[in-house]
Amino acid sequence: MNLAKFAIEKRLISALLTLLILGGGYFSYTKLPRFEDPEFLIRQVQIITSYPGASAQEVANEVTDVVENAAQQLQGLKEVKSVSSPGLSEVSVEFTIASAKKRPQLNQKFTQLRAKMRDVANRMPPGAGPITVYDDFGDVFALYYAITGEGYSLPEIRAYAKTLQKELVLVPGVSKVELVGVPQEVIYVEYTPSKMVTLGLSSDQIANVLKGQNLVVGSGSVKAGTERLTIRPSAAVSSIKQIENLVITDSSGARSFRLRDIATVRKGLKDPASKRLYRDGKPAIGMGISNTTGGNVVNMGDAVNARIAELEGQRPLGIELAAISDQSVSVRASVSDFVGNVMLALAIVVGTLLIFMGLRSGILMGGILLVTVAGTLIGMYAYGLNMQRISLGALIIALGMLVDNAIVVVEATLVRVDDGEDPAEATIKVVEQTKWPLLGGTLVGFLAFSAIGFSPDNTGEYAGSLFWTMTIALLFSWLVAIWLTPYFCTLMLKKKKVVTAAKKENVISGAYRRLLKLAVRHRWITVAVVVALFVSAISSFSMVKQGFFPTSTRTQFVINYTLPMGSNIEQTSDDLAKIGKWVRALDGVTGTNTMIGGGHIRFMLTYASESANSGYGQVLVDVSDYRVIEGLLGKVQTHIDTNYLSANSKVWKFVLGPGGSSVIGVRFQGPDPIVLRQLSEQTKSVLTQAGAIAVKDDWAEMIKVIRPKINVQNASRVGLSQADISKAIAAFFDGTAIGVYREKDELRQIIFRPYEKDRDDAKDIREVQIFSKMSGRYIPITEVVENFDIVLENAKLRRYNRALAIMTQADPASGVDGNELFSQIRPKVEAIDLPDGYTLEWRGQYGDSKDASAGLASTLPFGFGAMIVVVILLFNAVRQPLIIFLIVPLAAIGVVFGLIATGTSMEFMATLGVLSLTGMLIKNAVVLIDQTDTEIADGKPRMSAVIDAAVSRMRPVVLGVLTTVLGVIPLLWDPFFQSLAVVIICGLSFATILTLIVAPALYAIFFRIRNDEVGESPDLTKPVEASPSQV
């Protein structure tokens, strides 16, 4: 079907379809989901198993190994990581992208994993379990609030938060509302140990009295006349006073006491707390709100904030709701900025076309561009893409490329119209002549991005929408060029009367012709000069700074604070309270959000929360402007390092994209924990000497453990076992749960424990009394325990793919380049002598970048091979494609010197820029060489054809490059795309200049064209008509 002819003949249909495309584009723009970062599946699941009383080694051998072995049997595993700590096993399982590309496939994997865990539940040691599988590990809470209340207790704040939670979970677009930092209220029954010994009462006796007091048990029903009434007794214990009045009888039954006579009953918060949240130093409850899969974060945020405003009257006076992170605001601002950049790029492109193509042609190209962008938005909506930093950046990159096809059609049509042809006939002929070469160039254009689109790496999935957006945009631009562009040409271009005028080349074309003749005549010198430039660029590449992803423009930075393993959470809380107060006094700081005992919830896709640790805290510091962060990082780091000597701290900025962990990471694997620690210590010494900060390993310090040495014979004589002794010690220091108290819709544990003064010192362990059921009396612990030894144990044992692994981590000091630090320490670390059976693997920024590059490398041959096939099919020859692909490396000259001149790092996005250059250069070279072949086929002498073809195609090639280069200029001010913009601007500009010279020279070499194969000079006096730009 001849689409050009159809569009011209069916003008009404063409006009209607144009309006429909524009309307559909606007509709798609309003309906496209909006996010801060691209949505990608987190294919991880956590398996948590408790094993109270076990050491880290026992947990690893008896629990973690069983869980890992079961998980390892599943197909499609990427990696299995585990952390074994005293009393707890945490196993993380990650699946490959290929095995679970979509959510339904991933859910199927999770179901299979749960089945495996049920199968091994009976293989757990006594006392271990249950095995809990958390498959919502990757949920992102786009809205994250802190709820505070001056004069309110945390339970009172929680009551309001719980009410708000029930309301907000019903808001459209909301998937889940989760509260964090919630204190657990319990009922404490506190006693004096000596009094219990004197009275001969045990915790079991008190528990037996409480047992069943508040259980909900069916009481049956009774017939009452024509009705049947249900019997439901009220709670026997409905207040703390009633608990105090419970009667306890000793084992002999001779004496009875009220509970208040032997203990104090009170309501309180369970201690030690597991997690605490503070907003500007005030205790707070956190509330995280996640949106539904594929939902619009902006719309969800608006709906939630509107509902909060409606519920304002229910909020108690003094309670405040403050946003820690609100993606609806940041995404709206981000999308608004990007749309502004798109409009700016659009204006730049249209303005360029108006200047170089004249008013009519410029307006024509602007209209074509608008229709193409609208069609791209429709394609994005239909394909299920969304608006986020990657897809919007792709649109800006595509803007300049979208007019390439149309420029060729319009330019060629202008030439024919200038020669007196009817615009309709001219544009139909042009489309028929160029549609396949243009399709080939278009295919090459988006195939250049295919490596990232099909990369099996997480980074590839993160940036994959770049490929799909470019594919949709470029294919639609080709369709518009051969379909609606002819229709637009008939509207804007009119046939002119033929006039006699001298058809002269302009100054630029004339200068280019003379330079080209000289270069082709001395073709080997031309090639030699270009090769020398290429070699100098490659040799200068070492001067280019390396990177992975740039730092974020988020108005927050982070303080990670870690005390030695086993530190009291109170100490962590006190330290961070002081640090937070000092930080809030700094210029530019507007607030702090401190989490004690672990990390914050996942409030952004690229953030990973730290697991529970009483010695760990994290502060999110709010600032007025992201530009002030750089000056604060070093100041805060120095303050903490100087004043908190026992802490390991890291002050850092968020990263735009995957990553964000320590810049330096070294993983050692081997069978012996002692050897692994030695290797890690050697590495830490190297890092410290190099001036690195936040030097640590992920096993943390060994912890002190009190190990009672039980006299088995004495214990057996009085009827006590190791379990009895362990339970008595735990009950003495931590308390023991003896019942449940029902308070409205809450169930609160009743915990029986000594007063704090009787258990606030490790020496009090010698005062523990153990109740013997056999003798009916308390036995002093010193009668059954010989010694209380202090030993060192591993606080954590980590494994990676079933092998013990320790990761040593560090970061560069403020103002120090991470790659320079890595280059400095790498040879020294790799020189460490590794015993047999031990391995070293670099992780951190280098490892992440290596993984991303490996993902690209695995798919790049297919994309590059497809481009070669397309070009060969296009020319049905070998020499022309060979010339084209010899031109591609020329991009390196502009790229390297451009990055060096601007001081820009060679980041992952710059790598994508290099890939995009490949397609752009091939596309330009195809247009140039195809015209040369056409003119030779028409009988023109070969040398004349080479020169004339290059000169005739110079204008559309340069215009296409100019629109692309100028179109990406707005990205220079976007940190995420800055390196890509520099690569495209410098690489494409320089490579295009060389292409216009080198391609004809190589063509002359490959086809052995002699300098004397020329015809007569072009007739400069032939009649021509005035061009539309002259009218």
pLDDT at 231: 81
**CB-based burial label for 933 (10 Å; 0-12, 13-18, 19+):** middle
pLDDT at 252: 65
Per-residue H/E/C for 967-1029: HCHHHHHCCCCHHHHHHHHHHHHHHHHHHHHHHHHHHHHHCCCCCCCCCCCCCCCCCEECCHH
- From the list 705, 562, 573, 569, the residue with the least C-alpha distance to 646 is 562
Give the mean model confidence (pLDDT) for residues 635-662: 86
DSSP reduced 3-state for 656:
coil
Binning pLDDT at 50, 70 and 90, where does residue 210 land? confident
pLDDT at 347: 80
pLDDT at 331: 81
Give the mean model confidence (pLDDT) for residues 99-118: 91
Strands (DSSP E) found in 755-885: 769-772, 777-780, 785-793, 797-800, 803-811, 839-843
Least confident range from 149-158, 343-352, 943-952: namely 343-352
Reply yes or no on whether the pLDDT at 52 is more than 60.
yes
Give the mean model confidence (pLDDT) for residues 824-836: 94
pLDDT at 1029: 31
Reply yes or no on whether the pLDDT at 507 is more than 60.
yes
- Residue whose pair of structure tokens reads 């990055």 in the numeric block: 899
- Residue whose pair of structure tokens reads 């006392």 in the numeric block: 127
Reply yes or no on whether the pLDDT at 298 is more than 70.
yes
Binning pLDDT at 50, 70 and 90, where does residue 272 land? confident
- In degrees, rounded to 5, the angle at the alpha carbon of residue 295 between the alpha carbons of residues 309 and 338 is 90
Binning pLDDT at 50, 70 and 90, where does residue 622 land? very high
- Cβ neighbors of 213 (< 8 A, separation 6 or more) are 235, 236, 237, 246, 739
With contact defined as beta carbons under 8 Å apart, do 611 and 583 qualify? Answer: no
Strands 131-134 and 44-50, sheet pairing: antiparallel
- Cβ neighbors of 912 (< 8 A, separation 6 or more) are 449, 452, 463, 466, 980
pLDDT at 1024: 38
pLDDT at 1019: 46
pLDDT at 215: 61
pLDDT at 1025: 39
Tokens of 864: 């590059």
Reply yes or no on whether the pLDDT at 832 is more than 80.
yes
Reply yes or no on whether the pLDDT at 201 is more than 50.
yes
Reply yes or no on whether the pLDDT at 502 is more than 60.
no
pLDDT digits (tens, 9 = 90+) for 591-602: 999 999 999 998
DSSP state of 833: P
pLDDT at 213: 67
Least confident range from 549-558, 644-653, 838-847: namely 549-558
Give the mean model confidence (pLDDT) for residues 267-285: 91
Binning pLDDT at 50, 70 and 90, where does residue 643 land? very high
pLDDT at 640: 95
Give the mean model confidence (pLDDT) for residues 364-381: 90
- In degrees, rounded to 5, the angle at the alpha carbon of residue 798 between the alpha carbons of residues 792 and 801 is 150
The CA–CA distances, whole Å, from 39 to 107, 254, 386 equal 17, 70, 8
The CA–CA distances, whole Å, from 786 to 714, 779, 790 equal 10, 14, 13
Q: Each residue of 934-952: b (16+ CB within 10 Å) or e?
A: ebbeeebbbbbbbbbbbbb
Tokens of 952: 């005739």
| Rounded Cα gap, residues 403 and 357, in angstroms | 13
pLDDT digits (tens, 9 = 90+) for 562-577: 999 888 899 999 999 9
Give the mean model confidence (pLDDT) for residues 941-950: 91
| Rounded Cα gap, residues 10 and 8, in angstroms | 6
pLDDT at 17: 94
Least confident range from 68-77, 135-144, 247-256, 659-668: namely 247-256
Give the mean model confidence (pLDDT) for residues 979-1002: 90
pLDDT digits (tens, 9 = 90+) for 649-666: 999 988 877 666 788 999
DSSP reduced 3-state for 79:
strand
Tokens of 70: 């079961």
pLDDT at 19: 95
Reply yes or no on whether the pLDDT at 966 is more than 60.
yes
pLDDT at 412: 83
Reply yes or no on whether the pLDDT at 680 is more than 70.
yes
DSSP state of 781: G
Reply yes or no on whether the pLDDT at 1023 is more than 50.
no
Give the mean model confidence (pLDDT) for residues 280-289: 95
pLDDT at 1022: 42
Tokens of 298: 């902006």
The CA–CA distances, whole Å, from 542 to 458, 536, 859 equal 27, 11, 26
Binning pLDDT at 50, 70 and 90, where does residue 136 land? confident
Q: Is the peptide bond before 316 cis (omega within 30 degrees of 0)?
A: no
Give the mean model confidence (pLDDT) for residues 221-247: 81
Least confident range from 64-68, 90-94, 617-621, 957-961: namely 957-961
Reply yes or no on whether the pLDDT at 199 is more than 60.
yes
Instruction: Give residue 278's identity as a one-letter amino acid code.
Output: Y
pLDDT at 994: 84
Give the mean model confidence (pLDDT) for residues 877-887: 91
pLDDT at 632: 94
pLDDT at 212: 64
| Rounded Cα gap, residues 782 and 802, in angstroms | 42
pLDDT at 214: 63
Give the mean model confidence (pLDDT) for residues 323-333: 87
Reply yes or no on whether the pLDDT at 281 is more than 50.
yes
Binning pLDDT at 50, 70 and 90, where does residue 991 land? confident
pLDDT at 419: 77
pLDDT at 500: 45
Give whichever of 279-283, 428-432, 728-732, 1026-1030 has the largest mean pLDDT: 279-283
With contact defined as beta carbons under 8 Å apart, do 948 and 940 qualify? Answer: yes
| Rounded Cα gap, residues 163 and 172, in angstroms | 17
Per-residue H/E/C for 913-974: HHHHHHHHHHHHHHHHHHHHHHHHHCCCCHHHHHHHHHHHHHHHHHHHHHHHHHHCHHHHHC
Reply yes or no on whether the pLDDT at 275 is more than 60.
yes
Reply yes or no on whether the pLDDT at 590 is more than 80.
yes
| Rounded Cα gap, residues 766 and 785, in angstroms | 9
Rounded to the nearest integer, the mean pLDDT of the chain is 87
Reply yes or no on whether the pLDDT at 361 is more than 80.
no
Percentage of the chain modeled with pLDDT above 90: 43
pLDDT digits (tens, 9 = 90+) for 184-196: 889 999 989 888 8
What length is written for the chain? 1031
Q: Each residue of 429-464: b (16+ CB within 10 Å) or e?
A: ebbeebbebbbbbbbbbbbbbbbbbbbebbbbbbbb
DSSP reduced 3-state for 750:
strand
Residue 917 has φ and ψ, to the nearest 5°, of -60, -35
DSSP reduced 3-state for 462:
helix
Domains of the chain, CATH where assigned: 1-31+358-503 (1.20.1640.10), 44-134 (3.30.70.1430), 185-269+704-793 (3.30.2090.10), 507-539+877-1013 (1.20.1640.10)
